[in-house]
A and B are shown apart, each in its own frame.
Chain A
Amino acid sequence: AQSVAQPEDQVNVAEGNPLTVKCTYSVSGNPYLFWYVQYPNRGLQFLLKYITGDNLVKGSYGFEAEFNKSQTSFHLKKPSALVSDSALYFCAVRGYNQGGKLIFGQGTELSVKP
């Protein structure tokens, strides 16, 4: 069965410091991996995806994620956090030929303090 784990409910970072939001996954075959961000009372916004190719994926707003097949991880990173990055972040996975049937993690609340 497919699954996604985000081990941290909350991550606190000082503005200007690097941030990491962790994600591990389990899926049969090659994974399709995604990160989304959600601001309060809003829908989810797509940040980046890994389908194939380079393990380091760059996305919107300066975020990037590294696909690590041996550790089945897809951690989200940003070199320098902004207060405006504070939001709820979701990792999602789907298997091949699963269309839009994503399995989401429980979300990680990122709080960036000035």
Chain B
Amino acid sequence: SQTIHQWPATLVQPVGSPLSLECTVEGTSNPNLYWYRQAAGRGLQLLFYSVGIGQISSEVPQNLSASRPQDRQFILSSKKLLLSDSGFYLCANKGAGNGANVLTFGAGSRLTVL
């Protein structure tokens, strides 16, 4: 079965500093990967998705960017963080076969921008 790893689990960064959150997937190949953000412990918003290496689609304009340097690696970045970037960031993979319509989520990375 697939496993999604996210790190760091928790991060506190000053405004204006850079950001790199990493997501890696085990137990599957050619995953479709997604970054969601959960603000204030509630609703989730899709930020980016990727269907393959180097292929990134952005859902909302923002201060963040994403990259897919390897098949099972998905990175969320920022050059200069804003206070509004604080939140809980979740990486997800869309399943295949019987689970083709189900998203599996990682444990998340909690970012606090001060």
Contact = CB atoms under 8 A, between A and B. Distances in A.
B34 A100 contact: yes
Contact of B92 (A32, A100, A105, A106): A100
B101 A51 contact: yes
Interface stretch (A19-27, A36-44, A77-85): A36-44
Interface string B41-55: 111111001010000
Interface residues of B, number: 26
A99 B94 contact: yes
Contact of B102 (A46, A106, A107): A46
A105 B94 CA distance: 19
A63 interface: no
B32 interface: yes
Interface in A25-67: 32, 34, 36, 41-46, 49, 51
A68 B102 CA distance: 21
Given A41-B110, A88-B41, A107-B43, A100 B105 contact: no
B87 interface: no
A32 B103 CA distance: 12
A106 B44 CA distance: 7
Given A100-B32, A101-B49, A106-B43, A46 B103 contact: yes
Nearest 9 interchain pairs by C-beta: A43-B105, A100-B94, A106-B43, A104-B44, A44-B105, A43-B107, A100-B34, A43-B108, A107-B42
Interface of A: 32, 34, 36, 41-46, 49, 51, 88, 90, 99-102, 104-107
Interface of B: 4, 32, 34, 41-46, 49, 51, 59, 88, 90, 92-94, 101-108, 110
Given A100-B92, A105-B43, 8 more contacts: A41-B88, A45-B105, A90-B43, A99-B32, A101-B49, A101-B59, A102-B44, A102-B103
